[in-house]
Each structure stands twice: as C-alpha cells, then as structure tokens.
Chains A and B, each alone.
Chain A
Amino acid sequence: MVTGRNAIKPIFRSGPSISARVAALVIASVLLMLADWRFGALGPARVAFADAAVPFYWVTTLPGRLFGWAREVVVSRDTLIEENRVLRAEALVLRASTQRLAALAAENVRLRELLNSTALLDERVLVAEIIGVSPDMSSQTVVIDKGTAHGLAEGQAVIDAYGLFGQIIEVSRFSSRVLLVTDSMHALPAQVVRNGVRVMVEGEGRIDVLDVNHVASTMDVRPGDLLVSSGLGQRFPGGYPVGVVESVTNDPGKPFAVVVARPSAQLDRSRHVLVVTEGEASVDAASSEAAPSGTAQEPVDAGVPGAAPRADAGAPAAPGQDGPP
C-alpha cells in the first residue's frame, strides 16, 4: 500500500531530530525578539522589511482603489454637479474662517512680541496616504506612503482633517509607521479648551476610546469638553483637537474620576492624513514673514480644526492674509 508507507516515512526519518529542530527555532525566535524589542538591535533589518512591505500593502489596497475608480467612472453628471456645489460652499466657509484666523494669528504674534515671549513654530504639513493598517488588533498602527525620502522623521505628529491622529514611530525610505493616539502604548499631554485644565490622554487599545487619567474628582471636566494637545510633551504641536469628553464618572470612594473621551480624528475612516513637520523657531520668521497661518497655538475653534495648518503642496494663500504691521 503506497499511501501507508509514504505517510509513515517522515516519522521514522525525522522523529528524533524534529524536536531538536523546533527547539532551535524557538530559541532563535526568542533571541530575535529580545534583540529586536529589548535591545533595538535590528533597526536596519526592520527598515529593509518596511521598504519591502510597501508593494504588499499596495496590493492589499488594490481592490479598494479599483472599487473607488469604478465608482468615479460610473458616477452620474448630476451627482458630480451636486458634489461640486457642496464643495464650493464648503470652500467658501473655510476661506471665510481662514480670514478670521489670519487676523487672529497676526494679533497673536503682536501680543507675543509685546510680552517678549518666544515666537511660535512655523508648522508645515505634508499630505500622506494611508496604505496599510496593522492586522494585529492589539497594536493600532497604520502605514503611510511617505518616508525619509520626503523628509519625514521619527516622532513627527500626524493629523487628519478632524484632529490629532498619532505620531510616526518608524520611518523607512518610502513608508512610515504611525502609532495611533488610541494605541495602548500611547499617551499625550492635553488641555481642556474651556478652562485650560491639563490632563493626560492615554489610548486603551480600542479605536473609539481615549482614557483621560488622573483627573481629580474636584477637577472641572465635563462631558462635551474639547481636549486639545497642549504641546507640553514637546512631541506634538499644541492646539490640535485630540478628543471630546464623553463621560465623567465620579466614584466618591476613589480619588480620581473615570473620564472617557472619543477621539476627534477619524481613526478608522480617514484615507489621507497630514504629517506636521515643524520648521525652526525664530523671532525673525514670526515678525517679518506673512502671518504664519499654521501657528494655531491658541485653542482652535472646534468648527475649523482642519483649516489651521498650511498645506505644503502649494495651496494658494488665503485671501486677507496680511502680515502684521
């Protein structure tokens, strides 16, 4: 019987060595993990892997792209006209609020000059597309299609049109990995817009939940409060919306209230994100250049959070953007 002999063979042939082999491989894996995670010794290998992964991620987004393309092709003329109308109206509203913002920014620069305080950083943004999402549920990271070749570096903040998205934790040549604000390893200092109370906002590992930790029961934090990044951690620029407080539970027996917030950024829906690359700070730049439209250090009005940064891709300057006298 051919099948029986064939099936039995491997057991006799590799019986004694297979346990040794698996033991060797397990030891090799553990050493790899230690070298990579504990000692960070495999940086170059990780970068090489990340570069090699770009085509993989590109292929996985192909069905979505095709679908989007097909939908664009078969969309009707009426829909396009309607969409165009809505976009034009939206552009008008945004432009109007940018005018106000420009005036505010100019005023801000003047006030800071009066106070002799340092100028704000000029923030520039770079549009990037999300090309991959980590399949591992316990780590919330996404891969974007820009890397060192486009001037990105580790630690830069990533935002989308609605709020703070995360930060770059790994850069390769043509892609970077972004840790979302909701990852369980992520925390950032934030501030309540209404009264300036400083809090720490931590991720929990769920895409729609942010924990606001160590809020004393007597602290003035209410549901509906907007949290913005405070810039105190020196990693994120200040003033970007982080989340909206959803519930505050005060347990009289506990020293701290349990505060839960919902992230402002559309972490599971955004396709395009903006990487904030900070320019160098100098008083000169702030006083002589045109009003830096990206200097939204004051808490931004919740209505126009995405209008603050200046797109790097040659967006025309908003009308009414005068420099300070």
Chain B
Amino acid sequence: MRADEQGAPLPFAVAATGLAALLASLYPLPVWLQPARPNWLALVVIFWILRLPQGFGIGSAWMLGLLMDGLEGGVLGRHALALSVVAYAAVLLRQRMLHYSLLQQMLLVFALCATDQVLCHWVQNLAGHATSSLIFLMGSLTSAFCWPLFAFGAPRERSLESWRSSP
C-alpha cells in the first residue's frame, strides 16, 4: 500500500473507480429508494484523497463533478462546485482522518457527503427546483454506512488508543 502511494499515481484505478461511481450515480433506482442512493462520487473523492494525496486533488474532483453534471443534464458546474469543496475539506482533514477509528471516519464521511448534497441542493433551489424536505440527507447516511467498503483500501495510521495500549 505504501509502495504505490510513493510511486506513480494509479491513473488507471482512479479512472476506473471514477467511472464506476458515475455509473452507480446514474443507475436507475425505484422512486422510494432514490433518496437513499449513496453519494458515490463524494466517497470516491474522499477515498482517493486519503490514498493518493499527490495524485488526486481538488482539480480531479472538480473534473469528476463536471462529468457528472454533463451526464446528469442539470446545471453545469453544480457537482463540480460541491465536489471541489468536499475535496478541499478532505485535504484539510486528511491527517485527522488517518488517525481516526472507523466509526469516527464514518461520522466525518457523513459530514462531507452532507456538505456535497447541501451545496448541490442550494444550486438546484437557486435554479428554481424548489425542494423543502431534508430527505436528501438520507443519501449521506447511507454513504457513511458504505464507507467501510472504502476503508479497507484507505490508509490508516495507528490510533492514539492503540499507541497507549501497546507500548
């Protein structure tokens, strides 16, 4: 894990996960399940920022968001804006996140995904699509529960507790 982090970035894996996230975000779901769709794009962005801080940054997140905007057909720049903000927060929080336990990471992922979705909804509301309910935050919740899938591949430092318990 450490070796490839130091070596060349994994452009192939990044592109593949990005593509998979786009497809999963577009996959048609039943109406009742739609609010619970995990925010795959934000999860992938957070994952790669933890894993490849040099190879994947805010610019990549912005590009991914722009692709999503184009595919979705909404206002261009909406996801780009939200995802670059999420990426920025993730870069700033990276050091903490590496030391967090899985549960703490999930909480943080929830906050980041919620940021993404709230920003997207602001833009959507400004563009005239009025929504009043907060049901869209369900997606952030399911995203947090999906984070353990990503946490397998993400680097993790030893937490403070484990340093204390095993001298």
Contacts and interface: CB of A to CB of B under 8 A. Distances in A.
Nearest to B121: A138
Interface residues of A, number: 55
Contact of B157 (A3, A25, A60, A141): A3
A37 B125 CA distance: 12
A56 B23 contact: yes
Given A25-B62, A25-B80, A50-B70, 14 more contacts: A9-B54, A10-B91, A25-B59, A29-B65, A30-B77, A32-B80, A33-B123, A46-B76, A53-B71, A138-B130, A183-B129, A184-B129, A185-B129, A205-B129
Contact of A60 (B2, B26, B94): B26
B159 interface: no
The size class of the interface chain B forms with chain A is: 35 or more
B88 A136 contact: no
B158 to A, nearest CB: 9
B104 interface: no
Across the A-B interface, give the 5 residue pairs with the lowest CB-CB distance, nearest first. Answer: A49-B70, A32-B77, A29-B81, A22-B88, A29-B77
A89 B139 CA distance: 46
A78 interface: no
A19 B91 CA distance: 10
B49 to A, nearest CB: 10
Contacts of B74: 134, 136, 139
A30 B69 CA distance: 13
B105 interface: no
B34 A37 contact: no
State the main secondary structure of chain A at its contact with B.
Answer: helix
B128 interface: yes
A32 B87 CA distance: 19
A285 interface: no
Contact of B59 (A8, A21, A185): A21
Contacts of B57: 14, 21
B84 interface: yes
